[in-house]
Amino acid sequence: MNPNGTFLANEIEDIILNSHQDGTDGSLISILEDIQDRYHFLPRDALILVSERLGIPLSQAYSIATFYNAFSLVPKGKHLVSVCLGTACHVKGGGDILDKIRRELNLDSRETTEDFQFTVEEVRCLGCCSLSPVVRVDNDTYAHLKQEQVPRILKKYQRAKEALDA
């Protein structure tokens, strides 16, 4: 993606060309998943290009994109931070953990950092109630979390970015 948030049409073209197209919603879903993986959201222009290349109405692409929770129409960060606020996590301080994460990342009401490195979301259950409070960053789960641990965990993902930038 370009710094101004736009995508490159040739990248979308490559995704479409490399997909298995059989004219079903399954092939559309597969293409949208690849675009979501690449950009962390589905840019409007990408949906337009996909609908044109597949010869389907734009409304069909949008109906799939908005039906599944896995897709987002707004830019998301590279790292997804899911904070459980289900009953067990809430009782054991999940809300305080969420507040600490937002403070560490300088987030107020928005859920994605300005540099698009982190998106923070509240979830109702991560299926780990006996480990509460629980936070998941990408595919890593952190259990019995304390507020003091939050900066160290976030720095782990920030260091990964710094290593790539070096």
User: Is-contact 140 80, C-beta < 8 A?
Assistant: no
Q: In this predicted structure, what is the pLDDT of residue 11?
A: 87
What pLDDT, in 10s, does the model give residues 42-93?
999 999 999 998 899 999 999 999 999 889 999 899 999 999 999 999 999 9
- What pLDDT does residue 161 have? 63
pLDDT tens for 121-156 read 999 999 999 999 999 999 999 999 999 999 999 999
Q: Does residue 5 have a pLDDT over 50?
A: no
CATH 3.40.30.10 is right for the domain spanning 79-165: yes
Closest CA to 78 of 123, 47, 106, 37: 37
Provide the residue ranges of all domains of the chain, joining segments of one domain with +.
Answer: 9-67, 79-165
Q: What percent of the chain has pLDDT over 90?
A: 68
Residue 93 to residues 26, 120, 137, Cα–Cα distance (Å): 41, 17, 18
Q: What are phi and psi of 106, to 5 degrees?
A: 55, 45
